[in-house]
């Protein structure tokens, strides 16, 4: 008889609002998504909740309230952090993020996910330093830019479990097509994996009844993506040469197109 694998355990160490948005999506807070207003049909509520898997959410001071350089970053680390599988860190002061891997290692955390929604928070040099520290300490680490680009990876089994078991990361959709008045439309879209912020649920709902003609489809996706709205910055990222928000838009557009192509191939 095979033993059942224990659920993945998470902690959040963060500043600002982005991590709280991810937390509220993961626990499926019924007051969280209000994008549809009076037209809300509770499409996601009651389907999942990972509230039991989040062991702690520790909010540290905002970087703007701290000195530019912190001599003793260890003094700002949480006094106690439960042993967990994954830590999601967001919005932290650069010196605190650099100190975090050592703190996590001491408390028994196995992996660090630090989403890059704004390149100013985690510039390239800092990312490399944190990666090197995690590697030397035996911690898995990833810096998805944006968070909705995160996918499973064979050499990162714990982070892969986060994506697969919690159903968040790079979105995945299942789409059904129909013909009405001579036009091919999206009959419905089912969320198989959501962006961590929860936007995929809203976008999927807004795709119902949309014609699959490229310019019409792209416009519908873009309007929904901006209306949720995406939390990534509109500032030009020096690595990508365009805003990270645009990267998030390209990702959901690509995944919608993949789902449409799969729906078409299943009919042939």
Residue-level pLDDT at 1: 44
SS3 for 25? helix
- Tell me 43's DSSP state: S
Q: Rounded distance, CA 60 to CA 82, Å?
A: 16
Report if residue 42 sits inside a domain.
yes
Residues 157 and 176 in one domain: no
Residue-level pLDDT at 184: 96
Numbers of helices and strands, H then E, in the chain: 7, 7
Residues 134 and 86 in one domain: yes
Residues 147 and 215 in one domain: no
Residues 111 and 238 in one domain: no
Residues 161 and 180 in one domain: no
Residues 104 and 148 in one domain: yes
Residue-level pLDDT at 43: 83
Residue-level pLDDT at 4: 57
Report if residue 2 sits inside a domain.
no
**Of the residues 109, 142, 166, the one at which a domain ends:** 166
Report if residue 1 sits inside a domain.
no
The total of structural domains in the chain comes to: 2
**Of the residues 166, 186, 217, the one at which a domain ends:** 166
Report if residue 247 sits inside a domain.
yes
Residue-level pLDDT at 268: 63
Residues 181 and 144 in one domain: no
Residues 138 and 30 in one domain: yes
Q: Do residues 94 and 63 touch, judged by C-beta distance below 8 A?
A: yes
SS3 for 90? strand
Tell me the residue range of the domain where 69 lies.
10-166
| Angle between helical axes of 214-227 and 199-207 (0-180°, round to 10) | 140
CA angle 237–206–252, rounded 5-degree value? 30
| pLDDT tens series, the chain, 268 aa | 444 578 999 999 999 899 999 999 999 998 888 778 777 778 888 889 999 999 999 999 999 999 999 999 999 999 889 999 999 999 999 999 999 999 999 999 999 999 999 989 999 999 999 999 999 999 999 999 999 999 999 999 999 999 999 999 999 999 999 999 889 999 999 999 999 999 999 999 999 999 999 999 999 999 999 888 677 889 899 999 999 999 999 999 999 999 999 999 987 6
CA angle 37–42–48, rounded 5-degree value? 135
Domain with residue 119: its CATH number is 3.40.50
Report if residue 4 sits inside a domain.
no
Report if residue 49 sits inside a domain.
yes
Residues 201 and 139 in one domain: no
Chain position carrying tokens 């999927």: 204
Residues 141 and 258 in one domain: no
Residues 123 and 254 in one domain: no
**Of the residues 166, 183, 214, the one at which a domain ends:** 166
C-alpha to C-alpha distances, 256 to 163, 173, 218, 234, nearest whole angstrom: 19, 7, 10, 22
- Of 161, 162, 189, which Cα lies nearest the Cα of 176? 189
What is the pTM (predicted TM-score) of this model? 0.94
Q: Rounded distance, CA 181 to CA 262, Å?
A: 23
């Amino acid at each position: 008889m095979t033993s059942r694998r224990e659920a993945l355990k998470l902690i959040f160490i963060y500043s600002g609002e982005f991590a709280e948005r991810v937390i509220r999506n993961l626990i499926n807070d019924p007051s969280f998504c209000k994008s549809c207003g009076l037209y809300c049909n509770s499409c996601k509520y009651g389907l999942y909740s990972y509230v039991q898997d989040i062991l702690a959410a520790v909010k540290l001071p905002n970087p703007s309230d701290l000195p530019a350089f912190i001599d003793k970053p260890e003094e700002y680390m949480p006094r106690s952090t439960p042993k967990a599988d994954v830590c999601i860190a967001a919005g932290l002061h650069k010196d605190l993020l650099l100190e975090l891997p050592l703190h996590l290692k001491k408390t028994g955390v196995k992996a660090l996910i630090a989403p890059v929604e704004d390149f100013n928070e985690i510039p390239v040099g800092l990312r490399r330093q944190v990666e090197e520290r995690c590697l030397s300490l035996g911690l898995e680490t990833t810096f998805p830019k944006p968070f909705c680009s995160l996918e499973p990876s064979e050499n990162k089994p714990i982070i892969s479990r986060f994506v697969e078991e919690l159903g968040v990361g790079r979105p995945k959709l299942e789409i059904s097509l129909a013909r009405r008045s001579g036009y091919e439309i999206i009959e419905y879209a089912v969320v198989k994996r959501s962006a961590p912020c929860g936007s995929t649920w809203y976008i999927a709902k807004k795709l119902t009844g949309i014609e699959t003609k490229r310019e019409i489809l792209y416009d519908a996706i873009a309007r929904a993506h901006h209306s949720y709205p995406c939390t990534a910055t509109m500032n030009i990222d020096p690595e990508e040469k365009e805003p990270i928000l645009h990267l998030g838009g390209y990702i959901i557009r690509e995944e919608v197109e993949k789902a449409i192509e799969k729906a078409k191939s299943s009919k042939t």
